[in-house]
Amino acid sequence: MKILSVNCGSSSLKFQMYEMPEEKVLISGVFERIGIEGSFYTIKINGEKIKKEVELKDHKVAFEILIDELKSNQVVKFLDEIKGIGHRVVQGGAYFDKTVVVDEDVIAKIDELSALAPLHNPAAIVGIRAAQEVVPNAVQTVVFDTAFHQTMEEETYLYAVPYEWYTDYKVRRYGAHGTSHKYVALRANEILGRMNTKLITCHIGNGASISAVKDGKCVNTSMGLTPNAGLIMGSRCGDIDATIVPYIMEKTKMSPKEMDTALNKQSGLLGISGVSSDSRDIEEGIHKGNERCLLAQKMYVRRIIDYIAKYYVELEGCDAIIFTAGVGENSASTRREVMDGLKVLGVIADPDSNNVRGKETLITTSDSKIPCYIIPTDEELMIARDTYALV
């Protein structure tokens, strides 16, 4: 059965098609700059990567071209071979704790929650509508980044603000990256050979979050109402004293929109280093002796250590720590610094094993009290699995 995993942004469409249940990737790619001058797309098939420049007026055009590529590359002969299309949606609120089949009520709820994910939810709806129009007979599903975190207890997901903010405005912790945390937690349990585990999963990329996972269920996560909570990220500040916001707004006469931009796009590694939001650029700056890059990295690593330690206590122990996503999978130095900061918990890094990029492997010594693993994430595969199950 052929299943298509789709991740739509406001001006992009990423896709990956699988033969299920074999989980074989048939084709993948991304359409970029949709609705913007200079649009193009790339596809990868049979190990070959092809880039084509083409006018992409909207997401429907992108889907039409995608279908043409599937046919011309003989991935499918007929449209009806595509039995399911799974769409990634960032914010499902408290409405959704699992993947669901799309109907008008589902779309209405995604739209209602757009205020909590203004860049992502509207784009997802555009993608769903385009897919429905171009591939009308496929079962359309939605996989929510927030769903995995819906197992948190009320005392964990609520904020200590007026309770009416929760009942009237849905202010609570929702988390994000749930599909990634779920995937690596499942894979870690396969490696450990059991489900009754206490895991700390670290999705460390330009956006970053850490989750505490007990017996396969999320009990806490670092992101909050929005993705700008918890860890220091590429350009997001993460946890700060809330009173900083009105204080700086009064001092600088910033508008709410300007403050939102500052906290989400001008803070984090970028704000401290003054160089870049990209961890690779920060590492390069450190090698060149840039003190602010070094400071940014120390702060970045310290916050990761803080959350791992917090969740270690909350879980009353830990069976494994997992590193995933762009930095987690590829930055040996960041992983080493984090593990060195966890020596008090008995973590002992293995320098040789840790010196890898993007490879599933154990990166601690045999006498480390907590094993640490790199597990490359695969959100597209999780989307395909859930969609296949529903189809």
How many CB atoms lie under 10 A from the CB of residue 285? 21
Q: Identify the active-site residue in 145, 319, 378, 386.
A: 145
Whether a cis peptide bond, with omega within 30° of 0, leads into 162 is: no
> Do 90 and 124 contact (CB within 8 A), yes or no?
yes
CA 4 to chain centre: 19
145 included as an active-site residue: yes
- Give the type of residue at 264: N
CA–CA distance, 59 with 123 (Å, rounded to integer): 9
| Nearest CA-CA partner of 305 in 347, 263, 360 | 347
| Residue 18: strand, helix, or coil | strand
Q: What burial class does residue 272 get, using C-beta atoms within 10 Å of its C-beta: 0-12 exposed, 13-18 middle, 19+ buried?
A: buried
By the 8 A CB rule, do 41 and 61 touch? no
Closest CA to 202 of 73, 363, 48, 80: 363
The catalytic residues are 145
